[in-house]
Each structure stands twice: as C-alpha cells, then as structure tokens.
Structure 1
Amino acid sequence: MEKRFRITIRGAVQGVGFRPFVYRLATQFGLNGWVVNDPAGVTIEVEGAEQLLDEMLETLQNDKPAHSYYQYFNVESLEVAGYSTFKIRESSDQGSKKALMQPELATCSDCLEEIFDPGDRRYLYPFTNCTHCGPRYSIITGLPYDRSQTTMKNFIMCQRCQKEYEDPVDRRFHAQPNACPDCGPHVELWSKQGKVLATHHKVIETAAEEIKRGKIVALKGLGGFQLLTDATSEGVVSRLRQRKNREEKPFALMVSSLIKAREICSISEQEKELLTSAEAPIVILNRKKWASEFIADSVAPENPTLGIMLPYTPLHHILMRLVNGPVVATSGNLSDEPICINENEAIERMGGIADLYLVHNRPIERHVDDSVVRIIAGKPTLLRRARGYAPFPIKVDASDQDQSQEIPTCLAVGGHLKNTVAVNRDTNLFMSQHIGDLDTYEAIKAYHRVIEDLPALYDLHPEWILHDDHPEYYSTKDALKRTLPTIGVQHHYAHVLSCMAEHNLEGPVLGVAWDGTGFGTDETIWGGEFLLADMGSWKRVAAFRPFLLPGGDQAIKEPRRSAIGVLYEIFGEQLFQQTDLLPIQAFEKPEREILQRMLDQKINTHITTSAGRVFDAVASILNIKQKISFEGQAAMALEYLISQTESADVYPYEIGRDGDLDIIDWELLFREILQDLNRLKAFEISAKFHNTLSKMIVDVAKQVGREKVVLSGGCFQNVYLAEKTVDGLRKEGFQPYWHQKIPPNDGGISAGQLFYALKNINSYKKEQALDEVPG
C-alpha cells in the first residue's frame, strides 16, 4: 500500500549533512518526494510502500548524522501526491527561525587525509572542509544555513566544487563552505605595517620558520586571531607576556598530535576524547614532571597543569606539522580585550605584539574564542564556553508553565566579569560565546555587538531584560537604560539557577554559591552563600562570617588586604602590633598605619562574606601570594600545593546563628592556621584548609536537610574542592550537582538569569498588566 508522510524535524539538522543523508536514505529505499531546509529546521515529504516508509522512519530516528540532534520529530500522513523522483529543494526563507545553529566543527579525518595527500587537488589547502567539519557559527549571517547566508557567498564555486556540491553520493553534497585552491579563500603573510610578504602555501612555510626563529605570529583562525610563538623558548614566551601585558596568567598550548600531547601531559581516556572531539577545546591537563624539558616555565608559571589543544582547522594542521613543536596559542588581543576578527583591526590593536600576520580573505562574521574544559568529579566542565559549543542551546523543561501561554522572548545580559549574554526562543536557552570582562572599550563594543547579533540570528525580539542586581556593573547600567521592562536577579541566586538549568532542577535545592564578588541584598559583598532555592524564590540560610576588606576593590588584586581584614576581625587593633605575621610584613609601616585607620573608622572598606577572599587570606598568611595579576590566582596557587599530600585532616570551626541565618565562623580555623605555620608545610595547611571547606558544605547540608545540593560559583573550578565536596555529600546520602554545560564562574550568570525568566516571566506579565489597569 502506497502512503505519503510529511516529516517535520526541529533541532540541529542544518550544516551537518542532513539533507544529503535524507536524500541517500530515500533513494536507498526507492522512495520519492523532497527535503527542504527552512528557518525552523528540515521538512521532508516522502511517499512509497508503507513498509519501506516505516524502515526509513526507523533509520531517520536511530541512525542520523553524527552531529545532528533532534528536539522535535513529527510524522503526518497525507494523500499520495505521485512524486516521480526524490529531490533536495531550494531552501525556504519563510517561517519562524527555529533551526539550531551549529558551532564550529574540527577538521574531520577524511578532510585531513586529503590535505596531506600529494595526489589530491586539496593538498595542503588550508580551507578544506565538508559536511562533517569546518566553520559554522563564525561565518553564518542568517538562517536557513545556506552558502548565500554565510561569509562564503562571494566565493563562487569552480566547476569541480560545484559538481561535488550537487552530487548526492559525495560527502561535500550541500557542504556550504565548500572550496578548493581554484575558487576558495587563500592565505597571505603580512608585515607589521600590513604589507603583503607572501601568498598561498609559501605563507604557511614562512610563518612556521619564523615561529621556530622566535617570532610572534598573529594567525587569523576560525573565530578570530591567535598569537602563536615557540613554547620551548623562555625568552620568546617572556617577550609575548611583556607585549601582551599578561604577567602570569597561563597561556594555552597547541601541539600537533595526541602523541605530542602525551609527551608533556598525563591524559585520561575522557581527556583524550575531549582533545580529539569535534569541539576540540583547550583541555586542562596535569603536566608530567619532565614537561619543563619541552615547555618554557613562563608558559604557566608555578602551575602543575597545562591548557592543551590540538589543531582544529586545516591551517592549524599544516602549520603545526611544519613547526613540529609546541606553540603558545593565545587569544589575539591585549589582555582583557575580545579577540580581533579583522586583519586591519588586528594590525591596529596588536601592532605592538605581533611580528607578522598570517591572514586570509574569508571574512569572520563574529568573534569566537577557544573553549576551555576541565574534568571535574569525572565529568567535563566548561570553564569558558565558546568555539565548538556556542550557541548550541540548553533545552529546559517548562512542564509547570501554562501551556496556553507562549513564553516571551527575554534577553539576559549577565554579569561584569567573564560576560556572556543569553536569549531564549520558547524553552531553548541560547548562550552567547564568551565576551570577557566589561572593563575596556573593546569589550563593551563586543558586548553590544553580541546583544544585537544573537537575537537577530533567530529573528527574536526580546520583550524583557534580565540583569544582575549590582548597580555598578556595566551590563546592569546598560539594561536599565533600555526601553524594555527589566528584572534584576541576585548574583548568587543566578549562579545556583545556572546549574539548576543544565540539570533541569525545579527545587527546592540547597544552592552553594561560592565566588569572589557578588552584590548582596544588604548591599554588602557576598560570596560564601548557602541558598535554599527553587524556581521562583530563594532564602539565604547560611553564609561565611563577614569581615572588612580594606581598600575595597583594590583588595581583589591584593590577597594581603583580605588577610588583614580577616585578622582584624579576630584581633582588632592589636593586629598591627603582631609584626611577625606575614600579611603585616607585606606592608610598609606607613601603609599599616593607613590600613589601621581605614579599618578602625570603616573608611573605604567593604563588608564581605566572600569565599574567594577567604582563599586569598589563607594564601597571604602562607606567603603564597600577596598580590595577584589575574583573578583567582591565589586560590589556584593554594589548590596546586595539595598534590603533594593526601591528608584528610580538617581545622575546627563553628556554625553560629544570626537571626534565621547560620553563620560559618572561621575564626578557629584561622587561629590554628597561624599555629600551624611553625609546625606544618604549606601544602599540608592548604590540604587541611580545603578539607575543612568541604566539611563545612556537608555540615550545612545536614542542617538544611535538602537531598539535592547544587555547587556553583568560580570557587568550584577548584578540582580538589569540588571533588572532595561531591564525594563527601554522596557519602552522607545527598545528591550533588555541579556544572558541565554552563561555566560555574560568572560566564554562567546570563544562563541563570534567563532560566529564572523562562519559569516566571508570565507571572511578571500578569503583574504588569494589573499595574496598567486604571485606578
């Protein structure tokens, strides 16, 4: 019996070879009809014998292309239309833009084989790609995903490329960025002044030689510029640090192969899968003891880990084979600025950094940094969500929503540090790529570009804006200037919500939000918080004992100030007579006098409960770090000490009560640390301190009594703390949740804000409507 089905599929079905897959499937089963891309996804009409249709449906659902993903699959039965062939129809631009945009995909093995085959027409061609790999998000200008809506639109395919594009059995069938040396983009080598020094393959050979000679090369990659230089030379890496204004923050490395990565780092099976995945992120790995024989110490000073990535574009593969050694591969920018995406912009902004520019003429539509991942408690955790992951959505549950009401589109503008923004279509939560700290003109420009770009891609028109409660965050100020209604979401509640979002938790949960800085409802600086939270509300049930930070924001860069604040809370004015204490010695006598006046009179001081500042205080007392050059440096240094011991010892502490709030009093902990300075090694004190923090969380969880415990905030990038806490909670019968898809740091704030909106926005709309009713 003949039948006709209309199959509607929504999800990640564009840019992954899905239409060619459907074409081959239909012809294999002898079925007729058509398949088309539209802004919502893919629509298929297919007719033929019922049994063959059923077999095709089963294959569609169970054997789809590797990078495809279904969110909606519907089959409708129609009258037979009498199709005589099966065709791929020209894409339609009509309808709602619901198709999911694919992130960038690393070079596949088939393309790699061609690139290094001297007999292949794409031999050493740096823009080789197919439906299984290549640029996506960085070149798309609109949906549906067709060549005419990418930055490849001005490269007209030659006859041979066009034939591949039109051949259903070719893996480049409808590969939108398809190109070859005859018709595609090409590379050029530019001087610091923008003068063309070489073109085509000679460019890559010359760049490789210059890297080996110690030059710094700015390479225009997939989503922006990278700065590449020899990672084995101390002098070269130090010069890059000086020029880039990046004192000590670790640089990422690129190596040519997994074998090369194993020479310098220990790699688990999970880490191997991440390194070689289509996402190809930077993976934080434990370095081997002899790594310093291969890698300059200044790549990651005093750091037992290295951030490693493998080549993920043909250009990287060709270059790395020629260099044949590890290179620093860091963002093409000055520190704290977004990466450059345009070669002329790069010359202007990086003129004092790069010696040469390896550029190409394929335009980059939007900046996309390299993503950073670390295995924490057996799961990959995204520390920076960008290339390979953004803007792929997080699908959240809306079962509690009134199904008769559409969920309005909302824009969440995130926090101030590690900024990302997020927008929704229905219950799909789209996070932008990493933008960065909103402290510079370039970062703010990038923020505004992304705020316009992300909704526009999906033809979305936000009705509400979600922002942080901190009145001085740039993102908050910008949100409040706009004409749309706004909703503030407390910083630490947003942290907890971001983790709830990726695990689809409704609550109530005990949310542990530990970070460096967040604006509290009492207008003090929070950061060591325990929140009893659900989707609509939260209650602060516990926090660290507060203390004063002398110098306010300056204390964030000087752990010695956090230590002075903690010790002043314990000893009062007598602190400044204890000149044997290392944090006191870290200041000159006139500075101590100023600090004492500040604390005694509470001038230019902030009250804080920040866990991040408690880490800083311990680092200062141990003389590990008195000043830092990047966020979290002191806490990282403390974590890295622990590898030298397996101690399970803990410090004493008390949990007191202030009204309905439990106060974790750390005074006994710090008093004993001061005693331990004369009897224990620094690494033993650090382990004991971390163990105590973990025990605090477990003890509060016991008092609160909620089974589900959510861990969020930048402190849970600390592998030892996170794993110790997860293990401790499980042993006591709790169900811990930690981040995987969304960063635990402030890069996840926008997701938490938006998750709150998806669950509560219709209630706000009702309140708004009531407010607008006259008298």
Structure 2
Amino acid sequence: MIDTDLYCVKILVRGIVQGVGFRPFVYQEAVKNSLTGWVRNTSSGVEIEICGTRKCVEQFLHTLQNNPPPLARLDHIKVTETHPNGATEFLILESADSESQFLPVSPDISICEDCLRELSDPNDRRYRYPFINCTNCGPRFTIIKGIPYDRPNTTMASFDLCPACQEEYTNPLDRRFHAQPIACPECGPYLWLEVKGQRVAEREDALQKARQLLKGGAIVAIKGLGGFHLACDASNEKAVRALRNRKKRSDKPFAVMVFDLSRVEKIAEINEEEKAILLSRQKPIVLLRKKKDARVVQDVSPDVDTIGVMLPYTPLHYLLLEPGEGFPEVLVMTSGNLSEEPIAYEDEEGLTRLQNIADAFLLHNRPIHMRVDDSVVAVSAGGFLPIRRARGYAPDTISLPFHFPPILAAGAELKNTFCLTRERYAFLSHHIGDMENLETLNSFVEGIEHYQNVFKTVPEVLACDLHPDYMATRYAEARSERENLPLIRIQHHHAHLASCLVEHQWDTDDPVIGLIFDGTGLGEDRAIWGGEILVGGYSGYHRRFHLEYIPLPGGDASIRKPARTALAHLWHAGIPWEEHLPPCSALCGDELTLLHSQLKHRINAPWTSSMGRLFDAVSSCIGLRHEASYEAQAAIMLETICDPKETGTYSVILQEDEIKLGTLWQEILNDWLAGTPPSTISAKFHNWVATVALYASETIRSETGINTVACSGGVWQNRVLVQKAKTLLEQHGFRVFFHKIVPPNDGGLSLGQAAIAGWKATKRNG
C-alpha cells in the first residue's frame, strides 16, 4: 500500500537538462515546497524522486513544467506514483551512467548578463577574467567529450578547482553549482600572446598587447570558443586587403564584430526582429543592410549591400572589443582558415596553418574538443532564415515526425552537414564545410565519431546523395561495405523537399508541391538538376516541371564562369553571340571559339536545369558579373541591385513538363538593348521566377488538389525572391513552407536524407 499521508512520485525528464542549472532549480523548488527525495543526472536525462503533501508535489510539478531554467528544454516528462523512500531531506545525488542511454546536449551559449556584470566589477574576484561562465552561459558542446555532462567528461577535467570555486561548484544555491567549465584566475585557463613563435605576454598584458596590435593595423589570430578567428580593423583598408590576400579570399564578404547594439546601428540598418536575433543567447552573425556612410572599408563586403554583423559572445570578445581611445569600433572577425578549409581549433594546428596569415596569436589553454564555426542567419519575409547552422544552434535536436531506426545521413558536397537520428530525435551536425579537400573530410569523420559517442548512437542504416563522386557519398559507400549496413541513395532535390517537411513536422506521406531551386544536384537521368518543381513526400516524388535543359560547358567548373553559362543559354535559345553583349565582351576571341565548339559538339557539357546557373547567366548578360570568386556571387549581385518598386515581369511559358526559357532570353535582351536599367531587369526576372512558382503550383493544384507548397534549395536564400513568391502564393490561397530551423541550402540536406531513409527503412521492415 502507498502511504496515504505522503504523495510520492518518480519523475524522468528528457531534453536539454544538463549543464543548464536544472538540478539546482529542482533542489530549490523541492526545498521551497518542503519536499524530500533526490535528483540526479543520468545518461538519458534527469531523474527525480519527491515526497510531500499532494498540494506541494503538484505545485512542484506545475513549476517544473511551466517555468524551467532559461536554457533548459523539456522534451518529455514522465511522472509515476511510487512508495516513500524514507528520505528526510532533499539531496542531489551523483550522476548515473548507462551505456545505452542518451540525451540532447546544449549548444554553446553566449555570456549571460550576470557574468557580464561580474566581468566589469572591480570588486569581483573574476573581474576581467576572459573565461568567466556559469550554469546559464559558456562553453558546452565544444568542450564535451562524453555524457553525462560532468566535468571529468569535458576538456576542463585537467583544471583542479581552487577552494572558492569548489565551494560554488558544490553549493546547490549558487549560480555556478555544477557549472562544468567553472574557473577563475586562480585555477582556470589563461591567455598568452605569441609573435613570431615567441610568447611575449600573458593574461591581461597579452590582451592589451593584442588590442594595440589590432589598433596598429595588424592581423591577429584569436583562439575563441570553437576555433580560431582572424581579426583586424575593419576601417583599415590596408589591413583588410592584407587579410584577403593572405587568406586567399578575393571577394567573399567578411563578418564583423562590434561591442554593442549602438555600434551596430552606426554601420547597418536594423529592424526589431534583427535586433532580437543579434541579442539572443546564440549571438549568430546576422546579415544586415549596410549603411552607405558606415565606417567600414568597402573591401569588407564588396559589391553587396549587406554586411554580416555579430556581437561579442564570450567574455574574451567583450574585453577585446571594449571601447578605448583610438581603438577600432568594428573588427573583421572571420574564420581562422585558408579559403575552403575547416576552421583551425587546436593550438599547433592554428600556429601552423595560420602562420602566413596572422601577425600574432592570442591563445589560451582551455582545449577545444569539437571545432564549431559561427552561425549565419538573416531575416526574410519567411521569417528567421538560417544560412549556416553552427555555434549556438548545433547540436540542438530537431524533432522528427516519426520514430525511425538509428540512421546516419552523410549530406552533400557543398556546405556539408551530416545527420544522426535516434528515436524521434535528429542530431543535425554543425556546419562542416565544402568537402573539397582532405582536411574537411577529416573534420567530417571526426564529427561523426564524436556525435556517435556523445549521443550513444550506432547507425543501422546509411543514407547518401546519388552523386557517386561526392566525398560524403564515398564515405557512406565505404562504411556500408565495411560494416555490412544498408545504404539508401537519395536524389538531391527529393532530400531538399523532405528537409523542409521535417522542419514543419509533416507527419504523413501526403504529397506536397516542392519548389526546389538550387545550383547543382545529380538527377535520376544523370543530368544536373536545379530548377525542379516536384510533387511528393517522404516515400517518393514525381518531377512535374523543370527548367528547360541547357548544356553546361565545363560542368561544375561553370559555377566560377557565369559568362560561359550565359552564352550557353543564348546558344541554346538560338540567339547570336554579338560582340556588344556583355558575356561576349568578357571573353577573348579564342575563348569564344572554343566555347562554341564545346557546345556544338557537346564536349564536357552535361545538360542542366539549374535555377542557380540561370541566375548567374542573367547576371552576366546584363553586365554584373562574368566570373565568380565564390559560390552564388553573380546571383547575389543580381539580388543586390533589384528595384523593389518594379512590378513588371517576363513571359512564363510552361510546355508539358518544361519551363521554357527562349522567350525569357529574348525579352531580357530586348530590355538590355533598349537601355533598361539593370535594376529593372533584375526585378522583372525575380518577378518571373515568382510567377513561374505560382503558375506551376496552380497547374498542379488543378490536377491534384494539393494546396501546400514547400520551398527549399539554396536559391531560397534570396530574400527578394522569398518576399515575392510568398506574397504571390499566399494571395492565391497556398499554404507555404519556408526553412526556419535548418538552412534551405545543402546545409539542411542531410536532415531530408535521414527522413527519407527512415521512412523507407521503416516501411521495408514493417
């Protein structure tokens, strides 16, 4: 019999409940309600056992469910009645580990207001300490080696706590109770500065010397939370140009960091939603509209009207950027790597790989276990728009609409992420990068091994892209053969569609209309797809419309040559290459002759339906960009100049299953020859794409009755297009899904691969 005088329950809480102040919160609420029992971390979450009057237990449960700590995320709470255990007080027990259990892990969190206040307080023992943190902020994912999330399982294990820190760490009423990275100047990590291989300063002196170097125009490599940054004065043209030259990054925009919001407002236009994201605990890079009079050299973000801005997210950043006489208000803060390589994160690696870029290194001795780059986001008409999902967001779990077997999806070649699933959780990795070199492949493999370890998941099914030459595909093939695991190959654009559906918790296989617009993805007919309008769900799809095929001279190499792509479009449309046309004048006579022969004889010129390459071609045809130094540069310039007031469009011709392009090109060139401003042509082209989306969707709705549209693929990073398409589709009664959790580009692709593989594996086995 259960004691009628006491009401006792056992509670299991799953979600992000470790390293976020959850146990002290439980302790304080239990004491407040005169409850006895215990709480402890386990590998699957937090277990609680409480006894008291029914009223007090119910009050405790209400607070637990409705007002948990700010960083906690409660995914599941199981409450069962139990017998009294004879406890006379409430205790916090040692953690219990289990080989088979797992729980979500918190991403790294930017410094909280309490720690920031202590950082600036001369009377506080952590005054100006660059590694100040508590249970509400600081490193998490980048220092975790395993779970439960206890100090011995982090890179802080080698730092023995001083008596003062030990007292805080063991006091359930203290803000730093079991804050695993807890440290102070007496017992924790410290800074030092190296110049030309020599340690020249330590601690505060190192910080101040680094500031002086930045002030004087130097490039400083800074070891931060998830890896190295390369920093310089964003108002110093010579410094920014030197950084570009040394990093081998000719045009791609740099991100910048400023001390506070008032300084953001000096360089960029900002709305309330953008402010909220900048100030959020994730502190991502936010793409903002650049002010014309911003005191930032043009070379920071050339040829575009946006600038990527972030606020300090670690105490070190705050100390480094604090206002001072003559100190730059805006610092370039870009990833510590050579272009196309992963961010450096270990000391020796950073010193070796960045030695020809940085003039000095600001280092510290808190090891980073998992490299994580900065996240990049924007605000569009579709709302929050993730572009690169990394620090602050990864490895936050994504709920799956179904229960799947453990799956590893390998992702794609560009902007790679991988995805692990377990039960109804998807663990989408942080941004890995473009899988074009051995360094990135090694980072990819390290990441997979770490996720499997932390989330205690061994995949039973593998998923990959159809493209046989992707490094990620080859990894999946080799592992499938080595471990005798089933491998499911998934068409690229089908994965994009599924990724968007998972985000929106689409919990059936009912088909939707998929507007899947991107640059490159291998089609089932071995052509390069990219302008696809699909009808389908998780189990399969039908390709209802696609952009008319054109030959793509040089294949993937054409990504860097918009002029060649433009001339291929004109050649296919039967439009003569007249020398006054911008893409013709961009190439010499020999290049034009060779290109014509290549197209005529179909030499290394695969067919493509790519929407991304169509944007590139239009950009070149109106004289904006003929050669791209980074992906989508020509398309971004086309978006940048778009006239927001222009409502005209070009003719849309849907013929059987094709979106015809010949008339589009005739009308664009007629406008150009008539002297129509490029901004007007850009706007009319964007309107044409949105109208294509509408007309095709209306045709499919009339055929099938389907009224839901999912928009995915890298082209949907174009905020002008999102606004126009959203408005048109919603005005005509469509329900429209845009990405808000994972990127629409290939950074979200592995989530879709996992969902499709999970669906197929589940149906095959049951």
- Bin of the TM-score, shorter chain as denominator length: over 0.9
Give the 3-state SS of the residue equivalent to 1:396 in structure 2: strand
Unpaired runs of 5+ residues, structure 1, are 402-406, 767-775
2:676 aligns with 680
Structure 2 letter corresponding to 1:120: D
2:81 aligns with 77
Unpaired runs of 5+ residues, structure 2, are none
Instruction: Judge conservation of contact 1:104–1:387 (CA < 8 Å) in 2.
Output: yes
In the TM superposition, structure 1's runs of 4+ consecutive aligned residues that sit over 3 Å from their partners are: none
**1:402-413 map, 5 Å:** 407-413=404-410
Structure 2 letter corresponding to 1:306: I
Offset at 1:378? 4.8
Structure 2 letter corresponding to 1:388: G
1:287 aligns with 290
**1:506-521 map, 5 Å:** 506=508, 507-521=510-524
Q: How many angstroms apart in 1 are the aligned matches of 2:244 and 2:264?
A: 23
1:663 aligns with 658
2:439 aligns with 442
Q: 1:122-154 CA distances to partner (integer Å, 9 max, x unpaired)?
A: 010000000000000000000111111100011
Give the 3-state SS of the residue equivalent to 1:87 in structure 2: strand
2:651 aligns with 652
Q: How many angstroms apart in 1 are the aligned matches of 2:188 and 2:468?
A: 49
Q: How many angstroms apart in 2 are the aligned matches of 1:325 and 1:154?
A: 37
1:492 aligns with 493
Give the 3-state SS of the residue equivalent to 2:64 in structure 1: helix
1:627 aligns with 627
Instruction: Judge conservation of contact 1:192–1:354 (CA < 8 Å) in 2.
Output: no
Matched, 1:616 2:593: no
Q: How many angstroms apart in 1 are the aligned matches of 2:592 and 2:182?
A: 66
Pairing partner for 1:44 from 25, 31, 48: 48
Q: 1:44-88 CA distances to partner (integer Å, 9 max, x unpaired)?
A: 001111111111011111110111111110111111122111111
Pairing partner for 1:267 from 252, 258, 270: 270
Give the 3-state SS of the residue equivalent to 1:397 in structure 2: strand
2:242 aligns with 239
Q: How many angstroms apart in 2 are the aligned matches of 1:208 and 1:647?
A: 47
Instruction: Judge conservation of contact 1:714–1:745 (CA < 8 Å) in 2.
Output: yes
Instruction: Judge conservation of contact 1:414–1:475 (CA < 8 Å) in 2.
Output: yes
Give the 3-state SS of the residue equivalent to 2:362 in structure 1: strand
Matched, 1:151 2:155: yes
**1:206-355 map, 5 Å:** 206-291=209-294, 294-321=295-322, 323-355=327-359
Q: How many angstroms apart in 2 are the aligned matches of 1:77 and 1:324?
A: 61
Instruction: Judge conservation of contact 1:431–1:751 (CA < 8 Å) in 2.
Output: yes
Q: How many angstroms apart in 1 are the aligned matches of 2:450 and 2:67?
A: 34
1:455 aligns with 452
Instruction: Judge conservation of contact 1:410–1:466 (CA < 8 Å) in 2.
Output: yes
Matched, 1:690 2:691: no
Q: 1:671-714 CA distances to partner (integer Å, 9 max, x unpaired)?
A: 01101112310000000100110010011000001211000000
Q: How many angstroms apart in 2 are the aligned matches of 1:177 and 1:600?
A: 64
Q: How many angstroms apart in 2 are the aligned matches of 1:583 and 1:287?
A: 29
Q: 1:721-745 CA distances to partner (integer Å, 9 max, x unpaired)?
A: 0111011110000000000111100
Structure 2 letter corresponding to 1:669: L
Q: How many angstroms apart in 2 are the aligned matches of 1:708 and 1:485?
A: 32
1:770 aligns with none
1:419 aligns with 416
Offset at 1:97? 3.0
Instruction: Judge conservation of contact 1:369–1:434 (CA < 8 Å) in 2.
Output: yes
Pairing partner for 2:9 from 5, 12, 18: 5
Offset at 1:272? 0.8
Matched, 1:175 2:179: yes
Q: How many angstroms apart in 1 are the aligned matches of 2:74 and 2:759?
A: 23
**1:68-147 map, 5 Å:** 68-94=72-98, 96-147=100-151
Give the 3-state SS of the residue equivalent to 1:639 in structure 2: helix
1:385 aligns with 389
1:501 aligns with 502
Give the 3-state SS of the residue equivalent to 1:748 in structure 2: helix
Give the 3-state SS of the residue equivalent to 1:328 in structure 2: strand
Percentage of matched positions with identical amino acids: 42
Give the 3-state SS of the residue equivalent to 1:359 in structure 2: strand
Q: How many angstroms apart in 2 are the aligned matches of 1:274 and 1:107?
A: 15
Give the 3-state SS of the residue equivalent to 1:45 in structure 2: strand
The farther-off stretch of 730-739 and 319-328 is 319-328
Structure 1 letter corresponding to 2:240: V
Give the 3-state SS of the residue equivalent to 1:100 in structure 2: coil
2:695 aligns with 699
RMSD: 1.1
Give the 3-state SS of the residue equivalent to 1:430 in structure 2: strand
Q: How many angstroms apart in 1 are the aligned matches of 2:600 and 2:277?
A: 52
1:586 aligns with 586
Offset at 1:98? 2.4
Structure 2 letter corresponding to 1:375: V
Pairing partner for 1:472 from 463, 469, 475: 469
Offset at 1:550? 1.5
Offset at 1:480? 1.0
The farther-off stretch of 499-508 and 368-377 is 499-508
Instruction: Judge conservation of contact 1:217–1:356 (CA < 8 Å) in 2.
Output: yes
Q: How many angstroms apart in 2 are the aligned matches of 1:341 and 1:330?
A: 13
Instruction: Judge conservation of contact 2:382–2:722 (CA < 8 Å) in 1.
Output: no
Offset at 1:755? 1.2
Q: How many angstroms apart in 2 are the aligned matches of 1:173 and 1:699?
A: 59
Q: How many angstroms apart in 2 are the aligned matches of 1:452 and 1:165?
A: 31
Give the 3-state SS of the residue equivalent to 1:460 in structure 2: coil
Pairing partner for 2:33 from 25, 29, 32: 29
Give the 3-state SS of the residue equivalent to 1:446 in structure 2: helix
Q: How many angstroms apart in 2 are the aligned matches of 1:192 and 1:24?
A: 52
Offset at 1:192? 3.3
Q: How many angstroms apart in 1 are the aligned matches of 2:370 and 2:661?
A: 46
Structure 1 letter corresponding to 2:592: R
Matched, 1:360 2:360: no
Give the 3-state SS of the residue equivalent to 1:290 in structure 2: coil
Instruction: Judge conservation of contact 1:97–1:143 (CA < 8 Å) in 2.
Output: no
Instruction: Judge conservation of contact 2:215–2:328 (CA < 8 Å) in 1.
Output: no
Count how many residue pairs are aligned between Structure 1 and Structure 2: 748
Structure 1 letter corresponding to 2:434: D
Instruction: Judge conservation of contact 1:653–1:667 (CA < 8 Å) in 2.
Output: no
Instruction: Judge conservation of contact 2:156–2:366 (CA < 8 Å) in 1.
Output: yes
Instruction: Judge conservation of contact 1:256–1:324 (CA < 8 Å) in 2.
Output: no
Q: 1:458-481 CA distances to partner (integer Å, 9 max, x unpaired)?
A: 121111110000111111112111
Give the 3-state SS of the residue equivalent to 1:710 in structure 2: strand
**1:525-536 map, 5 Å:** 525-536=528-539
Structure 2 letter corresponding to 1:264: I
Instruction: Judge conservation of contact 2:652–2:691 (CA < 8 Å) in 1.
Output: no
Give the 3-state SS of the residue equivalent to 2:339 in structure 1: coil
Offset at 1:324? 5.0
Q: 1:490-512 CA distances to partner (integer Å, 9 max, x unpaired)?
A: 00000111111110123311011
Q: 1:2-32 CA distances to partner (integer Å, 9 max, x unpaired)?
A: 1111011001111110000000000111111
Offset at 1:397? 1.4
Q: How many angstroms apart in 2 are the aligned matches of 1:94 and 1:624?
A: 59
Q: How many angstroms apart in 1 are the aligned matches of 2:79 and 2:448?
A: 36
Instruction: Judge conservation of contact 2:573–2:661 (CA < 8 Å) in 1.
Output: no
Structure 2 letter corresponding to 1:395: S
Q: How many angstroms apart in 2 are the aligned matches of 1:436 and 1:378?
A: 25
